Structure 1
Amino acid sequence: MTEKTLTLGDTTLRATVTGTGPTVLLLHAGGEHRGVWAPTATRLAEAGLRTVAYDLRGHGESTGQPTALRALADDVIEMVRQEPAPLVVVGASAGGYAALAALAEPTIARRVTGLILVDAVPNSEPERVRAWLSERGLLDQYAELTEDILSSGPELHTAATASNLPILLVRAGRSPIDGADFDRFRAANRRITLTVLPEAGHLVAQEAPAELARIVSAHAHSETGACGRPPTRVWTAPTRRIRPSSTTMSWPPHPAGKSAAGLAGEPPTPPRGAALPATATWMPY
């Protein structure tokens, strides 16, 4: 584990680098700091991944004023430029919105192979967001940034719609964001998939680090083509919907050696001893 500093004009951003391998950039939610990623980063290092977790400007040990989404997005652009490509970007809440805005820049998007948004949906219902922040004493502290993010919702939604990146949306089961907002966002782009952590609240990195690490590891290894050490070997089967009583699960792509056509009509049966996915995942058709 090492510390890293990125100086941008009169703003200094602090980061912690953990592990070796393909890079995963970790961007925390508003009101948090990079330390919330430590349990997740440790698990990702064990999976053969290198993580870089920054304090966003005005948070933790980073200087600068966190008043405008554009400033955060410009910071993320420089963070991405500093890292070896290809990399995966993970953004929670405000960090996710900053990532979306940054990756609207084509030259930056080309350095990234995947985006994971952790309980972050652009163009969400504003009053629900304000109420959640107010209950936790965060609305007044980050009032300017909150209003700027909310007013940028349509622009961020458009950027996500036009993106060619695979976007994995991690929804907290106890999210303050309405389910209809998740559905509308997922319908905007067929490359957006949705994974649900039923027991987690909005601050997923704090509440469900082990589950989040499994999700990030699987996505990062898939998108970077890395052959590191994923913690669990998950069997792959045809993409199809299975509707149990509480949630909808979708399997990953069909296993090597069998075509999708050759598996038509067959129930997806994992080989003996294989582990099943830890979370339910919605996949668009």
Structure 2
Amino acid sequence: MTDVEFAIDRDDVVLRGTGTGRGPTVLLLHAGGERRQVWDPVASVLRHHGLRPVAFDQRGHGETGGPPGTLLELAGDVRAMIASLEGPVAVVGASLGGLAAVAALADPSTADKMSGLVLVDVVPDPDPAGTRSWLDRQGLGAGRHALIDDLLGRGPELRAVVAATDVPVVLVRGGTDSPVTDRDASRLLAANPRVRVTSIPDAGHLVARDAPLALAAIIVETTSQWADAAAQSG
């Protein structure tokens, strides 16, 4: 099936993306330091199950390029991506992509177009000290200190977004060497008891790399349910 290429002009950058397949749309947002091709094994499974995966390179990554930007800029990019797609749109955000998706969810028109949100090994308000320690152990974050400070400084407002939303939310945790702690997951459930939490035991933080088939199975099950619910309500 032929890929469809996307190019969204955001004034300072052009967001580059690829989509293929027919059916309910699933927007895939990669983690920091990655690019959209990381989703290829997951996207293949989604297409096989009648879904339409669309993946973009976020600003500062891949073919989109440019500087890393701020969380608000990333959120604006996600809103532009969702606006360009036929709705409803299920959004899957890994790490940085998940935080950008939560920030985008604060916009009512964006939330109205989302059938649900899958957060892949990230919570809206990660513990700053614990996250910095994890990043240091992984040797990550070099050259992105301003963005990391921005992300970690916005935890309370992102937590409030998830607490207030009616959009279904699923948290998929990596089972090994994950920055998301049990306390983080409990805090998310306290903010929004409707959140579903699951885990993939053999995956680390980069779940799409470590366990693409297991992650794809969760996405297929979850987004198919959301698509059915959206069709019934429409």
Q: Secondary structure at the match of 2:201?
A: strand
Q: Are 1:204 and 2:207 matched, yes or no?
A: yes
Match of 1:34?
36
Q: How many residues are matched?
A: 226
Q: Indicate the SS of the match to 1:121.
A: coil
The aligned residue for residue 12 of structure 1 is 14
CA shift at 1:92, angstroms?
0.4
Matching residue of 1:271: none
1:131 Cα shift? 2.2
- Work out the CA distance in 1 between the residues paired with 2:10 and 2:138: 31
Contact 1:58/1:65 (8 A) holds in 2 = yes
1:73 partner amino acid: A
The residue type equivalent to 1:82 in the other structure is: S
Task: Give the CA deviation at 1:141.
Answer: 2.3
Amino acid at match of 2:128: P
Corresponding residue number in structure 2 for 1:195? 198
**Alignment TM-score, normalising by the size of structure 1:** 0.77
Whether the 8 Å contact between 1:165 and 1:191 is mirrored in structure 2 is no
Which shows bigger deviation, 163-172 or 124-133?
124-133
Match of 1:69 in 2: 71
Give the residue type in structure 1 aligned to 2:175.
G
Whether the 8 Å contact between 2:174 and 2:204 is mirrored in structure 1 is yes
1:27-78 Cα offsets, whole Å, 9 max, x none, are 0011111011000000100000001101110101113321310000000000
Partner AA of 1:176 in structure 2: P
- Cα distance in 2 for residues equivalent to 1:90 and 1:203: 13
2:129 aligned with 1:127? yes
User: Which structure dedicates a bigger proportion of its chain to helix?
Assistant: 2
CA contact (8 A) 2:59 2:69 kept: no
In terms of mean alpha carbon deviation, does 47-56 or 12-21 score higher? 12-21
| Rg comparison, structure with higher value | 1
- Partners of 1:202 and 1:129 lie apart in 2 by 12
Displacement, 1:135? 3.0
Verify the 8 A CA contact 2:30 2:57 in the aligned structure 1. yes
Please tell me whether the aligned partners of residues 90 and 117 of structure 1 are also in contact (alpha carbons under 8 angstroms): yes
Give the deviation of 1:81 after TM superposition: 0.3
Three-state SS of the structure 1 residue aligned to 2:203 is strand
The ranges of structure 1 where at least 4 consecutive aligned residues each deviate by more than 3 angstroms after the TM superposition are: none
TM-score by length of 2: 0.93
Question: Which residue in the other structure is 1:80 paired with?
Answer: 82
Shift of 1:127: 2.0
Q: Which residue of 1 aligns with 2:216?
A: 213
Structure 1: which amino acid aligns with 2:219? V
Name the amino acid aligned to 1:14.
R
Identity %: 48
1:185 aligns with 2:188: yes
Q: Is the 8 A contact 1:18 1:42 kept in 2?
A: no
Q: Work out the CA distance in 2 between the residues paired with 1:63 and 1:13.
A: 8
In structure 1, C-alpha distance between the alignment counterparts of 2:204 and 2:121, rounded to whole Å: 9
Q: Distance in 2 between matches of 1:206 and 1:116?
A: 16
Q: Which has the higher contact order (CA 8 A, sep 6+)?
A: 2
Contact 2:71/2:147, CA 8 A, preserved across alignment: yes
Q: What's the offset of the Cα at 1:86?
A: 0.6
